[in-house]
A = this chain, B = another copy of it.
Amino acid sequence: MSLIVTGSIGIDTIETPDGKKADSVLGGSSIYFAAAASYFGDVRLVGAVGEDFPEAFIGDFKHFQVDTTGLEIRKGSKTFRWHGKYMENMNDRETISVDLNVLAEALPPVPEVYQDSAFVFLANTHPAGQMALLENFPKAKLVVADTMDLWINTEKETLLNLMKKIDGLVLNDSEAELLTGESNVIVAAEKILELGPKFVVVKKGAHGAYLKHAGGACALPAYPTKQVIDPTGAGDSFAGGMMGYLTGADDLSFESLRKAIAYGTIVASFNIEDFSLGRLKTLSREELDKRYAAFCEMLTI
């Protein structure tokens, strides 16, 4: 089975409350997703960067064996840049500067060889863009999308149309509340299923995740970790681990989805242990499986 991700690729500058700073590092939703998913099989990437995109970052794609046939290096354009700073709680953050650059231009073309992709993840971007990208995958067996508060506030109608065409939605708890008007995550998740998707995963950061599916519901805690260096990409690596597992298992039952969010939880717990892809670059599948087993054991009451 083939997994594809469409989404942002960026150059990030990240500051954390302990005074640490990572300057101009590789980032973007599809990057964290692809690196995380790569532990479970091949990942295809569709995204655009500018001429300024560092050669070294292409090496990172190779490290994770990401299929970059769909990576467009656009002449005359610049790469998306984001500069953010985390607050003391390592959860809230402020954007110091953002330059959309190539993200504000036309969508990258989807290579024809990608049209047989069976598992599709539409990482966070304008819902009209997600809708347009989705049309390139007529053989999709599972389509999951992420979204954010900006689109819920400004493009709700388009987002609601998208939700009728996807199988799963991944979003965080404040976004689930914004979308449904319900502060209780359990109620909000039920309301989201009424909008179209067959399942929803509500990410709660350090508080874990909640899965609602016709076959059941499941709340899982985050993996208890002391070492939180940089939370950037936690949600995207969670989604990457989840979709990577599902693609490998080729099983869309509730039980399989539960295993998938557990794997997502574990990949995300590694991702936050360093800036950018620093920790995932040194992570082995053995380490991943070992922590996954410890997580399952922790929850065996």
**Interface positions of A (Cβ within 8 A of B):** 88-90, 183-187, 190, 204, 206-208, 210, 216-226, 228, 258-259, 262, 295-296, 298-301
Q: Are B220 and A88 in contact (CB under 8 A)?
A: no
Residues in B whose Cβ lies below 8 Å from that of A220? 221, 299, 301
From the candidates B217, B226, B299, name the one contacting A299 in the complex (CB within 8 A): B299
**Shortest Cβ gap from A298 to chain B (Å):** 5
- Known A-B contacts: A262-B301, A296-B301, A299-B301. Give 10 more (CB < 8 A): A89-B183, A184-B226, A207-B207, A208-B208, A210-B221, A218-B298, A219-B223, A220-B299, A299-B300, A300-B300
Integer count of this chain's copies in the complex: 2
Q: A88-B183, A299-B300, A301-B258 are in contact. Are A219 and B224 (CB under 8 A)?
A: yes
> Which residues of chain B are within 8 angstroms of A301 by Cβ–Cβ distance?
220, 258-259, 262, 295-296, 299
Question: With A207-B204, A221-B219, A221-B221 given, is the CB distance from A228 to B184 under 8 Å?
Answer: yes
Query: Given A208-B207, A298-B219, A301-B259: A226 and B183 within 8 A (CB)?
Result: no
A-B contact pairs, 27 of them (CB 8 A): A88-B183, A90-B183, A90-B184, A184-B226, A185-B224, A186-B224, A186-B226, A204-B207, A207-B207, A208-B208, A208-B219, A208-B221, A210-B221, A216-B298, A218-B224, A219-B221, A219-B222, A219-B223, A220-B299, A220-B301, A258-B301, A259-B301, A262-B301, A295-B301, A299-B299, A299-B301, A300-B300
CB distance from A18 to the nearest CB of B (A): 12
CB within 8 A of A210: which of B187, B224, B300?
B224
Bound Cα distance A23, B5 (Å) = 55
| Bound CA–CA A37/B218 (angstroms) | 26
Contacts of A216 in B (CB 8 A): 298
Cβ of A210: which chain B residues have Cβ within 8 Å of it? 221, 224
- A299 and B221 CA atoms in complex are apart in Å by 10
Residue of chain B at shortest CB distance from A259: B301
* Complex Cα–Cα for A258 and B220 (A): 15
Q: Which residues of B contact A222 (CB under 8 A)?
A: 219
When C-beta atoms are compared, the residue in chain B nearest to A296 turns out to be B301
Contact B224 A217 (CB under 8 A): yes
> In the bound complex, do residue B299 and residue A187 qualify as a contact, i.e. CB atoms below 8 Å apart?
no
Contact among B89, B186, B208, B298 with A225 in the assembled complex (CB-CB below 8 Å): B186
Q: Is the CB of A226 within 8 A of B300?
A: no
Give A258 to B298 CA distance when docked, in angstroms. Answer: 9
**Chain B minimum-CB-distance residue to A261:** B301
Find the B residue at minimum CB distance from A206. B185
Closest residue of B by beta carbon distance from A299 = B299
Question: Which 9 residue pairs of A and B lie closest in terms of their CB atoms, listed nearest first?
Answer: A219-B221, A207-B207, A299-B299, A186-B226, A296-B301, A262-B301, A186-B224, A219-B224, A221-B221
Residue ID in chain B nearest A182 by CB atoms: B226
